[in-house]
Amino acid sequence: MNAFTLWKAENVKVSKGAEFLSGFKKSELSNRRFCTKCGGHLMTDHPPLGLVDVYAATIPTVEFTPRVHVNYAETVLPMKDGLPKLKDFPAELGGSGVSLPE
């Protein structure tokens, strides 16, 4: 489980350490980006959706409050927290918008 923020791809810019950024294409929907210096997973590009999820912990000025679980169809850690659980992404962001039971 990771806390991340969703951004339109054109609004994401690596301002420091870009020379250490590399990637792993997990699927057509998911290109994971990590630091070659420390190995930390920083973000995941979702080209078909035009979105990037950036780990909340990498943006110290973001006040993070969870609102929804996405990609819950792949969970290995069921959460009983009352938040909506989506199979993938919200429909308005290019996903199916399908809700799953808690």
The whole domain housing 89 covers: 66-102
- Same domain for 9 and 41, yes or no, is yes
For the CA atoms of 12, 16, 21, 25, what is the dihedral angle to 10 degrees? Answer: -10
**Residue listed under structure tokens 């054109």:** 10
- Same domain for 14 and 37, yes or no, is yes
Q: Are strands 21-25 and 85-86 parallel, antiparallel or unpaired?
A: unpaired
pLDDT in tens, 39-74: 998 999 989 888 898 998 888 888 888 999 988 998
Question: In total, how many domains does the chain have?
Answer: 2
pTM of the predicted model over 0.75:
no
Structural tokens at position 47: 């080209």
- Same domain for 60 and 90, yes or no, is no
Q: With bands split at pLDDT 50, 70 and 90, how would you rate the model's confidence at 95?
A: confident
- Same domain for 60 and 72, yes or no, is no
- Same domain for 56 and 71, yes or no, is no
Structural tokens at position 16: 């420091």
CA 38 remoteness from chain centre: 19
- Same domain for 25 and 60, yes or no, is yes
* Averaged pLDDT, 76-80: 92
